[in-house]
Chain A
């Protein structure tokens, strides 16, 4: 792993933690008490963290693709995981922003879309779906790759390996939260 990539991971971790904090505190600000069930607290924290981490890594992937256009071969499962997760977060955000803007303009119902408001609501409301829907999308990606007979890359670099680890983490977190909900936590 190159030092540049190690610093990038550290930055992504910090960004993830920052969003986890934003999401967790937003729950209190928007009328939801701190006495929420542990499963929901965990979902908020992990959802915020995954959102932040994914965004940084997806942007880094785009930059890498732009800089090394001729040198990069096709994406492995790791890079595809970053791409799917990043696009999921960004498209989800985009749809949400459009909805709020239209709702505010036409129906005069919702509050104006400020960056702070957007950050709060996004991390708060999307945590569950990021850990739920996204995790199954990543599982589907892995199964599809196996069905399609994609070759395993013997010389996977750090970004590729971390992408796979990240996908495993998201799926594991989703299962853990689902288990907590099932057992009443």
Chain B
């Protein structure tokens, strides 16, 4: 019944699998994994010769990490838009009015989004077999890896579907999905990955085969029950997911943090709706964006984001700021990751959102020039993204005051904050450019995330990859140049405080610090990497802003509305 008489997977599969996006993604997926294997392939290995266990395990481990990382990123791109897409296309009510049971709808949506992910997993199998041919890896190990992939992929898909059923916009569902999935993915990778140094493979196998599946099954059961209940009695039917949410009504039933627009710090990112006339000289688009537009669909997404980020920050600050202050950079990295997820949400939908709501023609008939419109969109998105990100920085001040090792590098606090601020500017600028270029918010969001991932994580990932691979075919120095694009590379290039053990054993005192390791030569002058990062991004963002202006002007302003 779930397969033969279910029209949802038939329709979704034909749409998903025939789309150019499906082909492009599969091509990118296999190419990326192929590149991982190619560059890590041990040199001078002739056909039919086996290499040592270490080299094969290293390659297998990289392959596992790369594939798991891609799965965690790709699963929400299909599943998070499956129900919100219906809401945005105004077909949600038709779907619910059909004689299909909620469980069949859910299964259909899950199957259609997971089928593609499973196709991706299977398409990587030949590459995995290549690793097997090197020797040193048991078939059971490959089977274990695929069990982990399967259970993780379905769990990620179901969680994304749940987000999709709770939110009315794909961008919100996508953001919350990532926020929930990425910590889970990190924990899962840490527990189940193949570490060549670790001899205790029994525990890892036990976790992969005996612990992970029951936990995943429990999550599937709970999430399925929640989503089917919501599909059976949908609270958002009738509005087609586009009506403005009454905030007072929403706050009555809100759990956890609520947003009160009259209070500090809430009014920094969500100022109260205006009930008087705008003063002269005010940019009306900026006023509209901040006071009415960004949170017109309710504050549920924002509240979830704030609560999850704050909860995650507690264990992270305990470990990286107060227990091991020599690893304080990891906490800054967490804040930047948070901004990478949140920043694009408010900018990537700026222009495409107007188009989808059919308010772009209205906007273009006003006396405002394209420059003022684009500037207002940038400032509104930047303000919200920056305030939300900086809510996580108050702990930093306390750590730098109370922890002696961090007191010794107090100036680092200013640089950390600057790097975070520049990252906020970069994510917002990239999101706005993608929004001006794309036609749909979901496309703009995914393009923004991919661009940010390539810029921010790519250089660090590539460097780590080439450091780990044996007989690498590309010199590490060539990769180092791209580190200037990554805020993570900038943060980790800063001098670190000494650990408690080092201070105690060497008697170096509070003022000794580990020197910065990364320097770059720019115009004959040797500069630390973090300063090159800080010098590079503001002009780069200005260029992005110029491109956004041109794209908006050419694509929407001059061309008119289709």
Which A residues fall within an 8 A CB radius of B?
1-4, 6-7, 10-11, 13-15, 17-22, 25, 28
Closest B residue to A18 by beta carbon equals B402
In the bound assembly, the distance between CA atoms of A21 and B317 in angstroms comes to 12
**A21 adjacent to B310 (CB under 8 Å):** no
**Binary contact readout B230-266 vs A (1 if CB under 8 angstroms, 0 otherwise):** 0000000000000000000000000011111001111
Tell yes or no: B318 within 8 A of A by CB: yes
Contacts A10-B395, A18-B322 given; indicate if A3 touches B257 (C-beta within 8 A): yes
**Binary contact readout B304-340 vs A (1 if CB under 8 angstroms, 0 otherwise):** 0011001001100110011100000000000000000
Tell yes or no: B399 within 8 A of A by CB: yes
Please give the number of chain B residues whose Cβ is less than 8 angstroms from any Cβ of chain A in the complex: 29
**A17 adjacent to B264 (CB under 8 Å):** no
Subset of 18 A-B contacts with CB under 8 Å: A1-B257, A2-B258, A2-B263, A2-B266, A3-B265, A3-B266, A3-B306, A3-B391, A6-B307, A10-B394, A11-B398, A14-B321, A14-B322, A14-B398, A14-B399, A17-B322, A18-B403, A21-B403
* Chain A neighbourhood of B141, CB < 8 A: none
Known: A6-B257, A14-B394. 13 other contacts (CB 8 A): A2-B258, A2-B263, A3-B391, A6-B306, A10-B310, A11-B395, A14-B322, A14-B398, A17-B317, A17-B321, A18-B322, A18-B402, A19-B402
**A4 adjacent to B264 (CB under 8 Å):** yes
**A11 adjacent to B265 (CB under 8 Å):** no
**B266 adjacent to A4 (CB under 8 Å):** yes
**A14 adjacent to B317 (CB under 8 Å):** yes
**A7 adjacent to B394 (CB under 8 Å):** yes
* Chain A neighbourhood of B306, CB < 8 A: 3, 6
Tell yes or no: B475 within 8 A of A by CB: no
- Majority secondary structure of chain B interface residues (helix, strand, loop or mixed): helix
* Chain A neighbourhood of B322, CB < 8 A: 14, 17-18, 20-21
Q: How many A-B residue pairs have CB under 8 A?
A: 65
Taking a contact as CB atoms closer than 8 A, the residue among A2, A10, A15, A28 that contacts B260 in the complex is: A2
CB distance from A159 to the nearest CB of B (A): 14
**B314 adjacent to A7 (CB under 8 Å):** no
Which residues of B (357-400) have their CB < 8 Å from a CB of A? 391, 394-395, 398-399
* Chain B neighbourhood of A21, CB < 8 A: 322-323, 402-403
Closest A residue to B395 by beta carbon equals A14
In the bound assembly, the distance between CA atoms of A148 and B89 in angstroms comes to 61
In the bound assembly, the distance between CA atoms of A28 and B314 in angstroms comes to 26
CB distance from B118 to the nearest CB of A (A): 40
* Chain A neighbourhood of B399, CB < 8 A: 14, 18
Closest A residue to B266 by beta carbon equals A3
CB distance from B226 to the nearest CB of A (A): 23
* Chain A neighbourhood of B317, CB < 8 A: 13-14, 17
**Binary contact readout B394-428 vs A (1 if CB under 8 angstroms, 0 otherwise):** 11001101110000000000000000000000000
In the bound assembly, the distance between CA atoms of A21 and B497 in angstroms comes to 16
Q: Which 4 A-B pairs have the closest CB atoms?
A: A18-B402, A14-B395, A17-B322, A21-B322
Tell yes or no: B476 within 8 A of A by CB: no
Which B residues fall within an 8 A CB radius of A?
256-260, 263-266, 306-307, 310, 313-314, 317-318, 321-323, 391, 394-395, 398-399, 401-403, 500, 504
**B265 adjacent to A4 (CB under 8 Å):** yes
In the bound assembly, the distance between CA atoms of A10 and B310 in angstroms comes to 7
In the bound assembly, the distance between CA atoms of A17 and B322 in angstroms comes to 7
In the bound assembly, the distance between CA atoms of A7 and B395 in angstroms comes to 10
**B314 adjacent to A13 (CB under 8 Å):** yes
**A6 adjacent to B398 (CB under 8 Å):** no
**B260 adjacent to A3 (CB under 8 Å):** yes
* Chain B neighbourhood of A1, CB < 8 A: 256-258
In the bound assembly, the distance between CA atoms of A15 and B391 in angstroms comes to 16
CB distance from A23 to the nearest CB of B (A): 11
In the bound assembly, the distance between CA atoms of A21 and B398 in angstroms comes to 12
In the bound assembly, the distance between CA atoms of A28 and B317 in angstroms comes to 23
* Chain B neighbourhood of A18, CB < 8 A: 322, 398-399, 401-403
* Chain B neighbourhood of A15, CB < 8 A: 398
In the bound assembly, the distance between CA atoms of A19 and B399 in angstroms comes to 10
CB distance from A121 to the nearest CB of B (A): 15
Most buried by A among B256, B257, B313, B391: B257
Taking a contact as CB atoms closer than 8 A, the residue among A2, A6, A22 that contacts B402 in the complex is: A22
In the bound assembly, the distance between CA atoms of A7 and B260 in angstroms comes to 14
Contacts A11-B394, A21-B323 given; indicate if A2 touches B310 (C-beta within 8 A): no
In the bound assembly, the distance between CA atoms of A1 and B429 in angstroms comes to 33
In the bound assembly, the distance between CA atoms of A63 and B240 in angstroms comes to 45
Taking a contact as CB atoms closer than 8 A, the residue among B259, B314, B321, B500 that contacts A25 in the complex is: B500
* Chain A neighbourhood of B402, CB < 8 A: 18-19, 21-22
In the bound assembly, the distance between CA atoms of A11 and B394 in angstroms comes to 7
In the bound assembly, the distance between CA atoms of A16 and B283 in angstroms comes to 44
In the bound assembly, the distance between CA atoms of A35 and B265 in angstroms comes to 45
* Chain B neighbourhood of A7, CB < 8 A: 265, 391, 394
* Chain A neighbourhood of B323, CB < 8 A: 21
Closest B residue to A56 by beta carbon equals B398
In the bound assembly, the distance between CA atoms of A18 and B313 in angstroms comes to 15
**A3 adjacent to B313 (CB under 8 Å):** no
CB distance from B258 to the nearest CB of A (A): 6
* Chain B neighbourhood of A6, CB < 8 A: 257, 306-307, 310
* Chain B neighbourhood of A13, CB < 8 A: 314, 317
Closest A residue to B259 by beta carbon equals A3
Contacts A3-B266, A4-B266, A21-B323 given; indicate if A10 touches B314 (C-beta within 8 A): yes
* Chain B neighbourhood of A2, CB < 8 A: 257-258, 260, 263, 266
Closest A residue to B503 by beta carbon equals A25
In the bound assembly, the distance between CA atoms of A7 and B314 in angstroms comes to 12
Closest B residue to A116 by beta carbon equals B404
**A3 adjacent to B256 (CB under 8 Å):** no
* Chain B neighbourhood of A20, CB < 8 A: 322
* Chain B neighbourhood of A25, CB < 8 A: 500
In the bound assembly, the distance between CA atoms of A137 and B394 in angstroms comes to 32
CB distance from A166 to the nearest CB of B (A): 15
